[in-house]
Chain A
Amino acid sequence: MSQLAPHLVMLPILVPLVAGALLLVIDEPRHALKASVSVAAMLAVLVAAGALAARAGAPVTHVYSLGAWAAPMGIVLVADRLAALMVLLTAVLALAALLFALARWHRAGPQFHALLQFLVAGLNGAFLTGDLFNLFVFFELLLAASYGLALYGGGTPRVRASLHYIVINLAASLLFLVGVSLLYGMAGTLNMADLAVRLPKLSPEDRPLLEIGAATLAVAFLVKAGMWPLGFWLPATYSSSSAPAAALFCILSKVGIYALVRVWFVVFSEGPGAELIAYGGMATLVFGMAGMLSSPDLGRIASFSLVVSSGTLLATIGIGGSNVVAPALFYLVTSTLGTAALFLLAELIDRSRIPGANLLAVTAEAFRVEDEQEQPEELVGVLIPATMAVLSLAFACATLLIAGLPPLPGFLAKFSMMAAVLDSPRVAAGAWLLLALVVLSGLVAVIALARAGVRVFWADSGRVAPRVRLIEILPVAGLITGCLVLTVFAGPAMNYLTRAGDALHPPEDYIREVLRPR
């Protein structure tokens, strides 16, 4: 066991990759086998992520040289607290989405489990890598899997939205490459720690080109984060994709923010562009709020609340800099869990509209094209009692979480974030504007979600109580319970996140650990 311990960092990438490859070769009709392999792999990832989060940063950042080539020549994986936290969040979300899909979604098309595993492998790789080009490769891995998941289930709306999603992300990937190669051309390295050491030593005439490279890279990240005006693809894609895929996509937009934060703080040590991120984030916030108010259905409201959370995070980090990282991370965790729960709930609630689940109507369209496919069967298994009551309770919790009202941790997150922002304003006028916008966004979330909730739960025309299986409500309950636990243990969680933020900036420890000869 002690011999295995140094290789722990590899597990969150290797396990899903191997499991995904294995799942590809298992025959499609063997659902039970596929499901058990997938769940086992995801549980293993969860355990590895938990161990990583417990060990990360204590006492030092864990650096793993792939192929034993030391940095900066070789590629390294770096598991500091921030990376470990994101890996853990991914594992939790993926497990929830997987359990939810076990009820029916995993039979709606081919290779659901393999796509899910590859997506998790790509996400974990992107969080753990310490190398810019490696980050690109993992981005492509997770994007390729996400294209498959966005299309999963088929149907015209999905194909139409996915086409835009794929084209925009391919273009963003090309920008990513341009940015990376400009940085390489100027600094001669792609290792983040090495870049951080070399960039300040560059001659002044090289700086403009370097800054163009950094800006190009930032655009690529911000497209993924869904910042206005780069994020118009997000609501359409997320709201048209299947519920488990959409729940997992909640972390996809956070990858962009993670990459931005990592590169901005570590490589450029809070270089130029703070105002741009701050005001861009606020514009995103406004766009998200308008979208939430104008959306008729829950899926779209959930997508726009994701835009709002992206905007809040970007604006907060742009204004507060490294001082607000800890509360921003807390907000990231709670808003991701809350939105994922809402995506899952939206599908369950939507089922009440037409008897017999209108999910079938959507997928049926695809099955006309591929008649060979198996239809998702009628619901069998343990159905939960008092479905509407359970759903409305879960919906109320998700609303509180997204709007940021007590007693759920969304409130703690927003409160601590705003306290930190007002404490250290770099964009002084922006801090108060952001405070106003964040308070307003809470109100907007309450209005939009309450309106949708009233329509579903109180206006009973044409609705029947949906049939919901235990395994479908369990992930939702789990996500919300996780948030409740976060409220109770907010102190220790905040301590952990504060240390994560301290390790992120100033990045001296990070650089020393990565470049330490071993």
Chain B
Amino acid sequence: MEIILSLGIAVLTGSGVWLLLRPRTFQVIVGLSLLSYAVNLFIFVMGWVRGGAAPFVSTRTIPDPAGFADPLPQALVLTAIVIAFATTALLLVVLLAARGLTGTDHVDGREPGQ
């Protein structure tokens, strides 16, 4: 489980960074999205990976803390997802405005060599 998760995070991060460094705005956005998935998974993992454990506590029995997943990273991830979603949407609008104003989708607003 740990291996799969860490490989997944590594692949997402690697692809994200590569795309982030590409010269086209759309690639940059996809790269940022991939990076944010990787970071979200990373936050999740920081609460330790524990299969089949619930993040909440029953009130009827006195729970054994070892049997439960940490609820805080899950709350953090939720916040991070919402924020990343909103900012990506904003960035998409700016991308379209830049495309419309400069006539190119290069990140510098002009084609290299121009």
A interface with B by C-beta (< 8 Å): 133, 137, 140, 143-144, 147, 151, 154-156, 159-160, 162-164, 166-167, 170-171, 173-174, 177-178, 180-182, 184-185, 190, 365, 369
For A144, the chain B residues whose CB sits under 8 A away are 86-87, 90
Contacts A144-B86, A163-B107, A174-B39 known; A181 to B46 CB distance under 8 Å?
A: yes
Q: A156-B102, A170-B32 are in contact. List 15 more A-B contacts (CB 8 A).
A: A140-B87, A144-B86, A159-B94, A163-B94, A166-B91, A167-B32, A167-B107, A170-B84, A170-B87, A171-B20, A173-B83, A184-B73, A185-B47, A369-B97, A369-B101
Min CB distance, B29 to chain A, in Å?
8
A181 touches B42 (CB 8 A): yes
For B76, the chain A residues whose CB sits under 8 A away are 133, 180-181, 184
- Cα distance A163–B25 in the bound complex, in angstroms: 9
- Cα distance A330–B48 in the bound complex, in angstroms: 44
For B45, the chain A residues whose CB sits under 8 A away are 185
For A147, the chain B residues whose CB sits under 8 A away are 87, 90, 94
B43 touches A181 (CB 8 A): yes
By size class, the interface of chain B is: 35 or more
- Cα distance A151–B83 in the bound complex, in angstroms: 19
A181 touches B73 (CB 8 A): yes
**A–B pairs, 6, beta carbons within 8 Å:** A137-B83, A151-B94, A167-B20, A173-B83, A173-B87, A178-B39
- Cα distance A182–B47 in the bound complex, in angstroms: 10
Min CB distance, B33 to chain A, in Å?
10
B102 touches A184 (CB 8 A): no
Across chains A and B, the number of contacting residue pairs, with CB separation under 8 Å, is 92
For A163, the chain B residues whose CB sits under 8 A away are 25, 94-95, 98, 107, 109
For B94, the chain A residues whose CB sits under 8 A away are 147, 151, 159, 162-163, 166
Q: Which of A173, A174, A178 has the most chain B CB atoms closer than 10 A to its own CB? A: A174
Min CB distance, B2 to chain A, in Å?
13
Chain A: CB-nearest residue to B72 = A184
B interface with A by C-beta (< 8 Å): 20, 25, 28, 32, 35-36, 39, 42-43, 45-48, 72-73, 76, 79-80, 83-84, 86-88, 90-91, 94-95, 97-98, 100-102, 107-109
- Cα distance A162–B107 in the bound complex, in angstroms: 11
Q: Which of A133, A144, A162, A177 has the most chain B CB atoms closer than 10 A to its own CB? A: A177
For B100, the chain A residues whose CB sits under 8 A away are 369
Min CB distance, B101 to chain A, in Å?
5
- Cα distance A174–B31 in the bound complex, in angstroms: 12
B79 touches A133 (CB 8 A): yes
For A143, the chain B residues whose CB sits under 8 A away are 87
Residue from B43, B87, B90 within 8 A of A177 (CB atoms): B43
Chain B: CB-nearest residue to A139 = B83
- Cα distance A223–B64 in the bound complex, in angstroms: 43
B83 touches A160 (CB 8 A): no
For B48, the chain A residues whose CB sits under 8 A away are 185
- Cα distance A166–B28 in the bound complex, in angstroms: 11
For A171, the chain B residues whose CB sits under 8 A away are 20, 32, 35
For B91, the chain A residues whose CB sits under 8 A away are 166-167, 170
Per CB-CB distance, the 9 closest pairs between chain A and chain B, nearest first, are: A185-B46, A160-B109, A181-B43, A181-B46, A156-B101, A140-B83, A174-B39, A159-B98, A177-B39
For A160, the chain B residues whose CB sits under 8 A away are 98, 101-102, 108-109
- Cα distance A330–B93 in the bound complex, in angstroms: 40
Min CB distance, B35 to chain A, in Å?
5
For A155, the chain B residues whose CB sits under 8 A away are 101
For A170, the chain B residues whose CB sits under 8 A away are 32, 84, 87-88, 91
For A174, the chain B residues whose CB sits under 8 A away are 32, 35-36, 39
- Cα distance A170–B87 in the bound complex, in angstroms: 8
Min CB distance, B41 to chain A, in Å?
10
- Cα distance A164–B91 in the bound complex, in angstroms: 10
Q: Which of B73, B76, B95 has the most chain A CB atoms closer than 10 A to its own CB? A: B76
Chain A: CB-nearest residue to B86 = A144
- Cα distance A137–B83 in the bound complex, in angstroms: 8
Min CB distance, B14 to chain A, in Å?
14
- Cα distance A150–B109 in the bound complex, in angstroms: 17
Chain A: CB-nearest residue to B99 = A159
For B95, the chain A residues whose CB sits under 8 A away are 163
Q: Which of A144, A160, A162 has the most chain B CB atoms closer than 10 A to its own CB? A: A160
For A151, the chain B residues whose CB sits under 8 A away are 94, 97
A159 touches B28 (CB 8 A): no
Chain A: CB-nearest residue to B103 = A156
- Cα distance A85–B2 in the bound complex, in angstroms: 46
- Cα distance A143–B87 in the bound complex, in angstroms: 9
For B88, the chain A residues whose CB sits under 8 A away are 170
